[in-house]
Structure 1
């Protein structure tokens, strides 16, 4: 499996081997006059990013910008460490996320609440970014990184309030982080194209998620570049899967919510229901039971279920 993959003109994808899984989380490299990195994954992935830069013959000092779509640690956890290597780079982040990059204490506490004893293995260390190196971007902000490439930033809440998506003028593609879901690219080997929403805690909002998706669709991109994982050349299929699966996720969680009283039991029951539903869907389409995608899917359903329960609890107050 190649760690560095060319996706388009001056656009490359580094496999971060997040959670020790191939094609789980990616870092994008825009090899332009001002070298730009999009997404940093978590700190244990830093060696893979540095190795990927080396394979592309990029010295860390050449990096001008590091962009994170949002500050969840699987997208931004390694930002501080990477900035220490990329001494001339500025970090670009949503205004709601900038303070967490400068002082990650709350970010760490929140992740510890979700991941418990696994936190250190998955995310340690999380290094603060100096305030003078952070750029907070408002909706519509543009960044010219070469004569023929402009990045335009869009406020796209739903997965998180501190989420931006980025339009790339050169490829007419959108870097969407987690706003419009996860792409299980590995399933293409079974001729199954599959996308699911990601509803992780603690700011998931289905209405905002759909609104952000409609906004992206109106921009008519040719490609979607997912944080998890890689490039889709079929945006219409992405939108259709989002519109199909988001109500299924909500319905499963609401049914559990009406019968359970303990939040942990709710999340466990919702995860089991979601995983069973997804597995049945994929089995009908010829995906074998031992497909490696199921490992990532089980992790995702656990986290999605937590976010769904959290959302329903907020609505119930």
Structure 2
């Protein structure tokens, strides 16, 4: 860190990040994002208070200081959603530090995040999701790559996997079991039921693959034998989207949204869907309830147009 932060404060920041990784299971990318947010806040605080940037500056932190920082971020063009994320990181650090150093940060921790409109997930219709599976296979240069792309897409839509989770599978996962153990964000494991269609899609890919995946190597291979990458999957999905006339929101992650939304529409339990998706908070899963309601209202509006 190039900012003028005291050694004690630097050590505290590293201690907090270590705590997040070890006890809260934060992924490395998440920890680094938090580091950036907090370092930015500390840098502003040093300039704002004109101090040395030590622990004393945080002991005497006031709600007014926090409001000044948020106003500064707004002035830089930071959107409400991003500012809310930054504030969450700063408050998490202050909460941990106040517990460790024994000072009262209640007044600062009560600061409210800026209000923002949460973006609803944008799932595909059921027929569109099925069409994508067929399209990615049909558009491939050869049979084995088509089978591979269809298998990846089937895992995203049929099992609700994140693209990173699907690509992290090794050859040892084949043949897919009835229940797949998946490692998600923060290294958290969950069990996901495997549909027969997903098992069959992966089996077909492996049978056609010119170099069957090694047990300890990646399950999904690229054209040159290396691991299949996220960008390759995104490109395949983009080609399918254009061929089918689907909106730009039809991304690989949209298939995971589709899995959750269609499961909810079919009467799935919200808690069960939370477990299947690996969401840490039920509030994240509840976004699909809003999607389901929004789609219902669209159908209602078409069926009952205003005079």
Using the size of structure 2 for normalisation, the TM-score is 0.28
More strand per residue:
1
Using the size of structure 1 for normalisation, the TM-score is 0.27
Highest RCO, 1 vs 2 (Cα 8 Å, sep ≥ 6): 2
Higher gyration radius (CA):
2
